[in-house]
Structure 1
């Protein structure tokens, strides 16, 4: 005997995951009406589509904010997706809000390591070169040491490479991993476009 899937269940699943109506109906049928199991099925299916999502244009999205309790630190972050439907999705909005909180706490300078301008890298390299010279490090090993320092520094200042500040909630996952999960859940290309952090005294 097949499980009867109501339109209300399909609608509720679509609202939570952002998946298409037919995908939601099939997932519920496969899960014999078990809502949570259907969510897992859709996550797996969407995960396989992640590579195809990256090239899709992001014309919708949300701007979310975070103001620290003392009123001295504030953040605005712009996160984009493909459709207005997902822009209103609770998981998508929650991700953007948590992102703003993370930026307030960790103060990243760039969205990704690729966004770091060469002059900023050169400035750090000059400092490290002086340090290594002062430490008496042999010249032939300095480039390798500086290369390692550059990679470590890029991870510190690039938002996508940072583990979320709420490590207990997100099991130490990076912002890029969390962005990928939201993309899989919604079935859309999720892009962190830009952010601004404001702090009194900085």
Structure 2
């Protein structure tokens, strides 16, 4: 019997929207492997698996200044909109801009007012009464467009996008940043997509086509089509433009003379 717990079943249900029995079966088929269980449910057509995987109940804020973004998470929206919490995020962003740390661990080890950033976050967590997590940050050195989005008018920004670019103009770049916020791309080009991610999509597409009873001679074509659909969903330059849905982002920014060098998208609670 595969080793998994009721908590594992709940986690899978929350992530995929599948029923309890389907989740237990998926974990059994996957020998308790969470990622394989998700793949099993995708093949079986669990409702809204992809959409539910992106959901989170985590709260927090994304702050930005001078081409940098930082995400600080908390447990409740009550704390997220607290002025002291937002001020803490801004203070941490000051450290990022001053120290240019290599990663989150380096930032947590940095000194601020005679203590480490980690100690500062811990003390503020104790004072506020909620777990606080310094999730991530990014610093862009080139010309950068930034867009921050609020999920609700009474909450601070929960989505932040930074796009480093050349050519074009600031309006076109900001429009692209707004597209990134809404369309959730993961990669700039298809060459950036990890080989294992493509292989997973091919495997899921092939297994799904077989489950659907598609003719053997058509499966290769179906798999290629579904992998291309994956690229259109998650590769920025291949996505349909939100402003001009019949054209790709590449076509729209090409007409604007804009070249994207890199981008990041932070959403509170999302990996």
TM range (shorter): 0.5 to 0.7
Taking structure 2 as the reference length, the TM-score comes to 0.43
Of residues 236, 248, 256, the one that matches 1:174 is 248
Measured in 2, the distance between the counterparts of 1:69 and 1:157 equals: 22
1:118 aligns with 195
1:63 aligns with 144
Taking structure 1 as the reference length, the TM-score comes to 0.56
1:5 aligns with none
Q: Which runs of 5+ in 2 are unaligned?
A: 1-140, 152-156
Q: 1:135 to 1:172 in 2, by over 3 A?
A: closer
Measured in 1, the distance between the counterparts of 2:242 and 2:215 equals: 38
Of residues 80, 99, 105, the one that matches 2:166 is 80
- Secondary structure (helix, strand or coil) at the match of 2:213 reads coil
Shift of 1:92: 1.2
Q: Which runs of 5+ in 1 are unaligned?
A: 1-59, 82-90, 184-189
Q: Single out whichever of 149-158 and 132-141 deviates more from structure 2.
A: 132-141
Q: 1:138 to 1:163 in 2, by over 3 A?
A: closer
- Secondary structure (helix, strand or coil) at the match of 1:179 reads helix
* 1:149 and 2:226 matched: yes
1:165 aligns with 242
1:201 aligns with 269
> Is contact 1:113-1:155 (8 Å) kept?
no
Of residues 157, 175, 191, the one that matches 1:98 is 175
Measured in 1, the distance between the counterparts of 2:249 and 2:239 equals: 6
Segments of 4+ in structure 1 off by > 4 A? none
Measured in 2, the distance between the counterparts of 1:199 and 1:121 equals: 24
> Is contact 1:65-1:74 (8 Å) kept?
yes
Between structures 1 and 2, the one with greater strand share = 2
Aligned length: 125
> Is contact 1:62-1:93 (8 Å) kept?
no
> Is contact 2:146-2:177 (8 Å) kept?
yes
